[in-house]
Amino acid sequence: MAAHEQDVEQLVAEREYEAGFVTDLESDTVAPGLDEDVIRFISNKKDEPQWMLDWRLEAFRQWKQMKMPTWPHLHYPPIDFQKISYYSAPKSAADKPKSLDEVDPKLLETYEKLGIPLREQEMLAGVEGAQYPTSGSNVAVDAVFDSVSVATTFKDKLADAGVIFCSISEAIREYPELVKKHLGTVVPRGDNFFAALNSAVFTDGSFVLIPKGVRCPMELSTYFRINAENTGQFERTLIVAEEGSHVSYLEGCTAPQRDENQLHAAVVELVAEDDAEIKYSTVQNWYPGDENGKGGIYNFVTKRGDCRGDRSKISWTQVETGSAITWKYPSCVLNGDNSVGEFYSVAVTRGMQQADTGTKMIHVGKNTKSTIIAKGISAARGEQAYRGLVKILPSATNARNFTQCDSLLIGDKCGAHTFPYVESKNSTAKLEHEATTSKIGEDQMFYCQQRGLSEEDAVSLIVNGFCKDVFKELPMEFAVEAQKLLNVTLENAVG
Amino acid sequence: MISIKNLHAEVEGKPILRGVDLEIPDGEVHAIMGPNGSGKSTLASILAGREEYEVTQGSVTYKGQELLEMDADERACEGVFLGFQYPVEIPGVSNLYLLRAALNARRKYRGEPEIDAVDFMQMAQEKIGHVGMSMEMAKRGVNEDFSGGEKKRNEIFQMLMLEPNLAILDETDSGLDIDALKVVSDGINRLRSPERSVVLVTHYKRLLEHCVPDRIHVLYQGQIVRSGGPELADTLEAEGYANLETDEAAATS
């Protein structure tokens, strides 16, 4: 290997995790372990109605019969589910502070480190009566800290438009009929091992309902952060877009740097009715562990969208740079005729990170269309697999799919694998698949450096070019954030 | 501008340059000619800082500094530009984006603020006209789906934007039709000034007719075996490189 390439590899290996701070907050945490009593405890903490508790207990019974999936291209020691704490809440959320001065300064510090603008911090810290200027930021934020949603911003403005955006716990209390109607209809309780676990113990998450014909007036956003030690985070998000409505939803995730592995098992369900459109974007930056693979988040997530109505559209865009282990396949079930599913993904694995990620596009309705663009970047000893399923049912006349999977390798100790599955039961379907694997070439590096770019800038320029097709799908503010995140991910901290 | 003394270099243990001596004063254009495999491109790459060549002996002084001790990006920021024989494609990165990053890298190196976006676009608009390309092309990915001629024009466009002190053009004229050749030579002539020097690595006399050099050197088997004025190109055209071997034998005896 040329000296040059080694440098790039080293550069990438030495970069540190920037969101790796721990907030030393007084928190209310349940002892590790999982049984029906813990589920009752969680349900009780959240003042849930009986039906919700019953739903959880049934999920738990199903989960106990299930086994962890072994098919992914991932290697990790068995997880002891009895060593995890299933509930943790920052104490200050219990009694609402009157002003920012009363808010736990550590919590504010955390928001600052997460890069949340100051005037939003007041809202997030739950300051009573905190108001927004009418102009300014145009993103409504829901922040989930360990197991609870700390606050949701812009509620009033959204309410004027008829949009419901609140924590799922609040939705269970305030809009039980809506939750009951949709919860588990896209991802059933027993869908898979992690979905069943989540259904039993989910602690918070977001609920969104966009009423008929409404175009949500702003981007909705959730920040997830795991803070407490030995705590799992199990959030549940449910987004319902009624007929002809439109919403763009963003989620961002970070976690502190800890030596032990933490578990994150979320479920996201999207429902799009006739002519509705949901755009769901994720920038995931959970702690990836150190370069020897110590610590890091185990990220086992089930995300699925149901294009229930005709001409509905669901679009997943994700930029995944974090987590020690990623197991995630945001999917679309294209039930409605002429419905559209899209998946745009950039996944980065470096250090000892492993990712098995991709999507599923299930074509049920006529003239359904799906697009998959997956970009994988592996550096150092990162291992990555793209796993995608395109399934055309007999009813899906004239279905179309376009899939493009590109892998970029940095160094020669990393790996990229592609597992595309295609099942077509209708001969009118048209499917296209393109796949490439390339290495950052010395020629490209030298070309950039000869033009004056430093080694780091050259790597980030080439990588950003590689990801362009995905970044352009992100909302503007997020695209900039994603690009920056990718740069710090692949940059030497010592610069 | 640049002074090369007794430069020896090899790649994978195989000697390519075997004692090159060359002086290029400020403001002069020098051409380096010679048959395939004589070491022309190796010399150009070493001056630009490519790492796969190992310099085993000799020194290169550029503007009073030891050039060989600088990294490629540092050399670029100090004003060394290499026009590539085979420019690479960088998918998804626009030509303009790369150029702006390159200009800002130079500015940062000199402790200056970043270039204003409007100034940059005006500058690009003006200079792209000089090479007969459109802004539309400049917005496309770096050399992405460019023809051979377009890639070479793009190198000249970059050179005009970056305004180097020492431009080394590695066979920028090969594979060009007459129109493109004119564009390339006009670009080089535009750059000529008392404070800039140009090295033209070429096989053909035709570039040197548009772009008359101050000196021509013949590189043969890793050494400069003949140097002369512009008229040397005619001699070479008439006689070929065939009798260089005897010249070299005469020179070393």
CB-CB contact of A488 with B112 (8 Å): no
pLDDT at A15 over 60: no
CB-CB contact of B68 with B50 (8 Å): no
How far is A464 from chain B, CA to nearest CA, in Å? 7
- pLDDT-based confidence at residue A140 (cuts at 50, 70, 90): low
CB-CB contact of B222 with B20 (8 Å): yes
Cβ contact (<8 Å) for A2 and B52? yes
Interface probe with A: pick from B51, B78, B109, B165, most Cβ of A within 10 Å = B51
pLDDT at A427 over 50: yes
Mean pLDDT along residues B45-63: 94
In three state form, how does the secondary structure of B33-62 look?
ECCCCCCHHHHHHHHHCCCCCEEEEEEEEE
B73 at A interface, C-beta within 8 A: yes
Query: How far, in Å, CA of A99 to CA of A126, rounded?
Result: 9
Contacts across the A-B interface (CB distance below 8 Å): 81
> Which of these ranges, A87-101, A237-251, B170-184, has the smallest mean pLDDT?
A87-101
Cβ contact (<8 Å) for A452 and B76? yes
Q: What percent of chain A has pLDDT over 90?
A: 38
Cβ contact (<8 Å) for B72 and A467? no
Cβ contact (<8 Å) for B90 and A451? no
Give Cα A149 distance to the centre of its chain: 16
Cβ contact (<8 Å) for B105 and A452? yes
How far is B2 from chain A, CA to nearest CA, in Å? 18
Q: Which residue of A has its CA nearest to B53?
A: A2
> Which of these ranges, A22-26, A287-291, B95-99, B126-130, has the smallest mean pLDDT?
A22-26
Mean pLDDT along residues A343-361: 89
- pLDDT-based confidence at residue A260 (cuts at 50, 70, 90): low
Query: How far, in Å, CA of B212 to CA of B189, rounded?
Result: 9
Q: Contacts of residue B88 in chain A, CB cutoff 8 Å?
A: 441, 443-444, 447
How far is B240 from chain A, CA to nearest CA, in Å? 33
Which of A443, A450, A464 lies closest to B72 in CB terms? Answer: A450
What is the number of alpha carbons within 13 Å of residue A443 lying toward its C-beta?
A: 9
With a CB cutoff of 8 Å and minimum separation 6, the contacts of A456 are A11, A490, A491, A492, A495
B68 at A interface, C-beta within 8 A: no
- Report CA torsion sign: A186, A188, A192, A197: positive
Which of A3, A447, A462 lies closest to B84 in CB terms? Answer: A447
Position B46 scores a pLDDT of 96
Cβ contact (<8 Å) for A464 and B105? no
> Which of these ranges, A130-139, A428-437, B69-78, has the smallest mean pLDDT?
A130-139
The per-residue b/e assignment along A304-314, b for 16 or more CB within 10 angstroms, e otherwise, is bbbbbbbbbbb
N-to-C CA span, chain B: 31
With a CB cutoff of 8 Å and minimum separation 6, the contacts of A64 are none
How far is B83 from chain A, CA to nearest CA, in Å? 10
> Which of these ranges, A173-187, A242-256, B140-154, has the smallest mean pLDDT?
A242-256
Cβ contact (<8 Å) for A452 and B93? no
pLDDT at B212 over 90: yes
N-to-C CA span, chain A: 23
pLDDT at A3 over 60: no
pTM exceeds 0.80, yes or no: no
pLDDT: which is higher, A384 or A323: A384
pLDDT at A314 over 60: yes
Chain A residues in contact with chain B using a Cβ-Cβ cutoff of 8 Å: 2-4, 441-444, 446-455, 457, 461-462, 464-469
> Which of these ranges, A167-181, A411-425, B71-85, B163-177, has the smallest mean pLDDT?
A411-425
Cβ contact (<8 Å) for A453 and B73? yes
What amino acid is encoded at B121 in this protein? M
Position A126 scores a pLDDT of 45
- What six digits make up the tokens of A36? 């029906």
Position A19 scores a pLDDT of 56
Interface pTM (ipTM) of the complex?
0.94
**Which pLDDT tens digit goes with each residue over B106-150?**
999 999 999 998 999 999 999 999 998 999 999 999 999 899 899
CB-CB contact of A424 with A395 (8 Å): no
Cβ contact (<8 Å) for B72 and A469? no
Q: Contacts of residue A468 in chain B, CB cutoff 8 Å?
A: 92-93
- pLDDT-based confidence at residue B22 (cuts at 50, 70, 90): very high
Mean pLDDT along residues A137-152: 55
Q: What is the DSSP string of B173-212?
A: TTT--HHHHHHHHHHHHHH--TT-EEEEE-S-HHHHHHS-
Looking at chain A, how many residues does it have? 495
**Which pLDDT tens digit goes with each residue over A179-236?**
999 999 999 999 999 999 999 999 888 899 999 999 998 888 777 665 555 566 788 9
- pLDDT-based confidence at residue A439 (cuts at 50, 70, 90): confident
pLDDT at A278 over 60: yes
The per-residue b/e assignment along A187-207, b for 16 or more CB within 10 angstroms, e otherwise, is bebbbbbbbbbbbbbbbbbbb
